[in-house]
A and B are shown apart, each in its own frame.
Chain A
Amino acid sequence: MAFDPLVIPFSLGLIFLLIVVFYKYYTWIRQMPKPKNPPKGLNRIKAYFDASIEVIMESLLHRKIFKQNKLLGYMHMSIAFGWFMLIVVGNLEAKMTSTNAINPPYFPIFLNFFAPDRSLTPGHGIFSFTMDLFLAMVLSGLLLAFIKRSKSRLFGMRRTSKMRGMDKIALYSLWLIFPLRLFAESFNAYNHNSGNFLSANCGDFFATFLPVAQLEYSMWVLYSLSLGVFFVALPWSRYSHIPTEVVLIFIRHLGYRSCVKPTGYNMFDLYSCSRCGICIDQCQINILSETNKTVTAHYIYDMRVGNKNDFGLYSCLACGRCEEACPVGIKTVDLRIGKRYSETPQTVVKYNVPKPLKPTAHNVGYFSGCMGKLTPSVIESMHTIFRAANENVLHIDKEDGICCGRPLILSGRVDQAAQLIQLNKDRIVASGIKTLVTSCPICLKTFKEDYDLNIEVIHHSEYIEQLLETRKIKTKFTNQNVAYHDPCELGRGLKIYDAPRNVIRNVAILSENPNKNERELCCGGSLAGIALSQEQKQTLASDAIHQIIDNETKALITSCPLCKKSFTQTSVIKVMDIAEIISQNLILPAEHKVKEKQHVQEFVNYN
């Protein structure tokens, strides 16, 4: 078996890396609860197949980053895919060269050192060309990475992540690996008169001014050392994403999901972050003065090394913009809520149980939510729409309205939230309704995800869309230009983008803003942003408004009472809920109008 002392740093690093990585993964997998719906039988094989495809597309080719910016995508792809191919092709070539059944793992890496003359190996020309090609590819990526440190705007990024702690050691050793490999290979090519377009030409060039024959061995030693140092630093640096991301993709396909309570899955998420910095530009907290603390890429670093970062933890709006942009698909919101959960001792409180609702014959129930209480015009408009459609609706939280529990979940008090969820669920089930309409997306998300209700739960924009489709209500079209704002919980949270837009198009001209759908800005009032002051929230709101509206816009439409409330405080134009704009443009029969006035008066008196 071929051996030389120069392989020792590489081999020790690799053994160390494997032991650490396997030990970590073993403990995390043990901490994961069993998935609710694991794929079985053929689906399991399909899951493995899909995961493998995703590994190739995302971990190697970086498709999602390509979609964002071609140059950035190429930079990531060239290093990941190029290096992977170097390993694969190098292994194949080593197999062809050696007569041994099993080669030690260092043999393909230092193949040119151990077997410099391989001209008799079958396919030698192709092998040496591909190896040079992929090395050139990696080096081009490395050059781009170097340029990116100072000219990040070329790569479509205004801000990039900064190197801290162990990352520096890992980064510098990574940067050294490939130039050193080039030196070693080109010197080797000159000394043995081999090599291809890259190594042979470089070898000739270096030989003009360097004592190549004497330097070759030391280059191999340095190459081995840089690999060894990189492997030792890897598990504690951002490059731990290289092995972790692959495992994450597999466990995701096998049905494991993250939840608000921290599990082993969150650890996989945490260590899959490469701190590529794509999320940095997405974070709205950047416009406030305290920039670095909240941004997910920086926060994850603090979380990994155990730095205390209370502002970063409690100022996050949980809007999910970073989660949407993340090329790895890390559940950034759950990571933070999980951290809040682990920092908060859980308590159970004695609440006076609200009066139970009597079973009614109503099919539809309406839940206006806590925030709805502060925007009575939304409730009033919804009642107008219900009456216009002749729907008999039970207003569930007209009296004794209890919170849905989502705000408690967002603040990390999950057990107390479970108590509220039980109280609320009992009320809803007792009322015997078939459909639950809510005008608050925050409530809607909890109803759908945490309540396990056996009834249909829809947002009021979806409900109005149904009424318009079945022609139960009629509206008149006005020629006013309006903009629509996607609330975080409704848009990114529940992927409801079309229903509100279809509704608005019935009554007004909808002009879209460049940040629509997944990239929509948060209103700043999010219940997750506990540590943000009132002024900071208003700064976020006014910044968001100015990006959403233009000079033509007459009104800003949203479908969340909390967004309405936060925008109204700073908006220069009218802010309306989707229910309000519909109720204002309803076509009602004459006798209905008289009744409507009485109802409105009653409502005003009640409030």
Chain B
Amino acid sequence: MSKFGFKLTPSGTINYDQGDFRLAEFIDQHEPSSRLCISCGACSATCTGGAFAKLEMHKIHLFIKRGMSDNVKTQIQNCMYCGKCQLVCPRGVNNRNVIRLILTHFKI
């Protein structure tokens, strides 16, 4: 790859071996609809809380699946629980329950 002038930057790599998948398993078990997420971003576009603080639901789903649980922790508290993300979701993901489960998992 380096021959062509490309290289993978460390920040962009997802190391599945070092990931913490406890949260992913926990959510998978209690809210199976989270598997349906296709990270289309409709939730983040409509998010009420996202307009006033950092909160991107589709990325949170990605982070969970990649085992990057730490990134989720701070963002998730900004949620206002209004439920718009759920109503616009084309896949019917129960986002509010996912958020509740994350909060219970981290005991925040």
Contact = CB atoms under 8 A, between A and B. Distances in A.
Interface of A: 314, 344-345, 347, 349-354, 370-371, 373-374, 400-403, 405, 407-408, 410-411, 413, 416, 420, 525, 527, 530-535, 562, 565
Contact of B84 (A354, A371, A413, A535): A371
A403 B80 contact: yes
B107 to A, nearest CB: 6
Contacts of B77: 347, 349, 416
A534 B98 CA distance: 13
A407 B97 contact: no
Nearest to A565: B87
Contacts of B52: 351-354, 402
- Sorting the interface of chain B by its residue count into under 10, 10 to 19, 20 to 34 or 35 or more gives 20 to 34
Interface of B: 33, 46, 48-49, 51-53, 77-78, 80-84, 86-89, 92-94, 96-97, 100, 103, 107-108
The secondary structure that dominates the B interface is loop
Contacts of B82: 370-371, 403, 407, 527
A248 to B, nearest CB: 31
The secondary structure that dominates the A interface is loop
B37 to A, nearest CB: 13
B102 to A, nearest CB: 12
A570 to B, nearest CB: 13
A370 B84 contact: yes
Highest count of chain A CB atoms <10 Å: which of B53, B78, B83, B94: B83
B108 A403 contact: no
Given A531-B97, A533-B33, A374 B49 contact: no
Contacts of B108: 345, 347
A407 B81 contact: yes
B97 A408 contact: no
Given A374-B84, A534-B92, A314 B97 contact: yes
Given A349-B78, A533-B94, A534-B92, A401 B48 contact: yes
A530 B93 CA distance: 12
A373 B107 contact: no
A332 to B, nearest CB: 21
Contacts of A354: 52
Given A345-B107, A402-B52, A534-B92, A411 B100 contact: yes
B100 A314 contact: yes
A565 B46 CA distance: 15
A403 B50 CA distance: 11
Given A370-B48, A411-B100, A534-B92, A527 B81 contact: yes
Given A374-B88, A530-B96, A532-B94, 9 more contacts: A371-B84, A401-B48, A402-B80, A403-B82, A405-B80, A407-B81, A420-B80, A525-B87, A530-B97
Given A345-B107, A350-B53, A534 B96 contact: no
B81 A374 contact: no
Contacts of A350: 53
Contacts of B80: 370, 402-403, 405, 407-408, 420
Nearest to A420: B80
Contacts of A530: 94, 96-97, 100
Contacts of B97: 314, 530-531
B78 to A, nearest CB: 5
Contacts of B100: 314, 411, 530-531
A562 B86 CA distance: 12
22 contacts: A314-B100, A347-B77, A349-B78, A350-B53, A352-B52, A353-B52, A370-B80, A370-B82, A370-B83, A374-B87, A401-B48, A402-B52, A403-B48, A403-B81, A407-B80, A407-B83, A420-B80, A527-B96, A530-B96, A530-B97, A534-B33, A535-B92
Nearest to B96: A530
Contacts of A535: 92
Highest count of chain A CB atoms <10 Å: which of B81, B86, B108: B81
Contacts of A400: 51
Highest count of chain A CB atoms <10 Å: which of B87, B92, B97: B87
